[in-house]
Amino acid sequence: MPSREQLEELLAAEPTDVFLLYAVAMACASEGDTDQAVEKLAELVDEHPDYVPAWFQRGQLLAGVNRNEEAREVLVEGIGVARRVGDRHAEGEMTEFLESL
């Protein structure tokens, strides 16, 4: 897997690439930089609101640092997005995770 630095360089060349935006956020998370990962995922859904995986990951990351109220808000919105775009699998996963909080 490319390093965070490599991904950020690729993203600089393709700043609207949803997959690179997501990969950078996940690289931040894997390095333990949860705040930056959450911020990157928030930026991603601002630019690409239908990208369902970003909603779920953001909710999980927020819950992982005990920001449960924020996680709930993100998950509720993400469930709505998943429902709207017809992603029943993600809708179910987010609903189950939300109920566990």
Ordered by start, the domain boundaries in the chain are: 4-100
Angstrom distances, CA of residue 87 to CA of 39, 40, 52, 56, 82: 24, 22, 8, 12, 5
- Please give the model's pTM, rounded to 2 decimal places: 0.90
pLDDT for the residue 62: 98
Tokens of 93: 């996963």
Helices 4-13 and 18-30, axial angle in degrees (round to 10) = 160
Q: What digits encode the pLDDT tens for the residues 16-71?
A: 889 999 999 999 999 999 999 999 999 999 999 999 999 999 999 999 999 999 99
CATH of span 4-100:
1.25.40.10
